[in-house]
Amino acid sequence: MHPLLMPVVAAQALFVRMSTEALPPAGGPESGTAGEAAGGEPLRIAVVGESTAAGCGVEQQEEGFTGQFARELSVRTGRPVDWSVHGRYGATARRIRYRLLPELDTGLHVVALLAGVNDVLTRRSPQDWGDDLGAVVGELAQRADQVVVTGIPPFAEFPSIPGVLGRYLGERAAVLDEVAQRVCAEVQGVTWIGSTNVLPMGPDFFARDRFHPSAQGYREWAQIVAGKVAL
Strands 108-114 and 144-150, bridge-based pairing: parallel
pLDDT confidence of residue 97: 97
CA distance 112 to 88: 14
Helices 163-185 and 126-143 pack at an angle, to 10 degrees, of 50
Determine the pLDDT at residue 30.
95
pLDDT of residue 23: 92
Q: Residue 85's closest CA among 52, 42, 109?
A: 52
Percent with pLDDT over 90 in the chain = 80
CA distance 82 to 31: 7
pLDDT band at 199 (very low <50, low <70, confident <90, very high): low
Rounded to the nearest 5 degrees, what angle is found at the Cα of 115, between the Cα atoms of 114 and 120?
Answer: 150
Cα within 13 Å of Cα(92), Cβ side = 16
Question: pLDDT tens across 143-184, in order?
Answer: 999 999 999 999 988 999 998 999 999 999 999 999 999 999
SS3 content of the chain, % helix, strand, coil (to 5): 45, 15, 35
pLDDT at 126: 97
Mean per-residue pLDDT of the chain: 92
- Give the residue, 13 or 130, on which the prediction is more confident: 130
pLDDT of residue 17: 79
Mean per-residue pLDDT, 190-207: 83
Per-domain residue ranges of the chain: 27-226
- CA within 13 Å, CB half, 33: 10
* Sign for the pseudo-dihedral over CA of 188, 127, 115, 150: negative
pLDDT number for residue 1 = 64
Residues with Cβ within 8 Å of 17's Cβ and at least 6 positions away in sequence, in order, are none
Q: What is the pLDDT of residue 11?
A: 79
- pLDDT class of 40 with cuts at 50, 70, 90: confident
- What's the pLDDT at 175? 97
**Superfamily for domain range 27-226:** SGNH hydrolase (3.40.50.1110)
The lowest-confidence range among 41-55, 120-134, 189-203 is 189-203
pLDDT, one tens digit per residue, over 90-143 is 999 999 999 999 999 999 999 999 999 999 999 999 999 999 999 999 999 999
- DSSP label of 153: P
pLDDT at 85 over 60: yes
Name which residue leads in pLDDT, 196 or 4.
196
Cα torsion 169, 62, 79, 187 to 10°: value is 30
